[in-house]
Amino acid sequence: MSTIQPRIPDIDWSNGFDPYWCNGSRAITHWFNALSFMLPVGEQYFHETAREVAKDTDLSNDPRLAHEVFDFTVQESMHAAQHRLYNEGLAKQGFENIVEPSIVWMIKMGRRLLSPLTNLAAVCAYEHYTAILAEHLLNSQSKWMKTAPDMALFWGWHAAEETEHKAVCFDLYVAAGGGWLRRASMFIAVSFTFYFLFFMRAYLYLLRKDRELRPQKRGATVSLKHASFALRGPVGFAFAAVMDYLRPGFHPWQRDNRALMEAWLRNNEARLHPIRSSVGKLGATTA
């Protein structure tokens, strides 16, 4: 039976949000905003790739994985939809998602030039980054999001679900016959691509555009401390955990942070709405 439960957070995006919702910090708010710009088409690529590989893989001996792939695709679809609403809020503040066309083009080239299994290896690499980012966020959310309860809910929800499904694509990749060399090679390629798109395209654009839109804001310059935080970005804050992926015997749940995820979900269940998943579907079938 699937262990994954898709949910929707109780957030009214029509209210908009503060331009510096992350404790008033320009630098750190735009760090999260840059990630959001990258995620809608990325999440869509993840679940479409998983669905394509699962369709051609015999999972009859692993019905749990088959159901978890289904629930993974539902969760990622919800993530993409919610991040689009978030990004519409950024557009109202004057920011254009200049990185999305580049991601769309790269996905198109990847699908044209690489096999579905190699695309899934790329997805596994991205999922490793999102899992490490999620763990970092669940550990430090109260530090960065004290004054923005909706954003705390939003990023916590995303982090919890990324943790919940962090091994699904990896397990599907192994079930489909994927090996270490392809996985490691795609991880290296994804690392360079992710960092370039995140920092050079999305993050620096947001900082520059913000200074144009609000030049009189106090603290218009980015401090060395905040700049170093952003430069570390999605690679450097947990370098050992990120690089652990390159071990031949690696598995995502060797880094078991389920207790952290479950604690966050318990504390926030009142503002999370479960949606239909294969858990209920499977139960109805076997009843």
pLDDT tens digits, the chain, 287 residues: what are they?
678 999 999 999 998 999 999 888 888 899 999 999 999 999 999 999 999 999 999 999 999 999 999 999 999 999 999 999 999 999 999 999 999 999 999 999 999 999 999 999 999 999 999 999 999 889 887 777 888 999 999 999 999 999 999 999 999 999 999 999 999 999 999 999 998 999 889 999 999 999 999 887 654 455 555 555 555 555 555 788 889 999 999 999 999 999 999 999 999 999 999 997 664 443 333 22
Q: Are 201 and 102 in contact (CB under 8 A)?
A: yes
Beta-carbon contacts of 50 under 8 Å, excluding residues fewer than 6 positions away, are 69, 72, 73, 120, 123, 168, 169, 172
User: Which of helix, strand or coil describes residue 272?
Assistant: strand
For the question of whether the overall pTM of this predicted structure is more than 0.75, the answer is: yes
Q: Are 17 and 147 in contact (CB under 8 A)?
A: no
Burial of 249 (0-12, 13-18, 19+ CB in 10 A): exposed
**Neighbouring C-beta atoms of residue 38, cutoff 10 Å:** 23
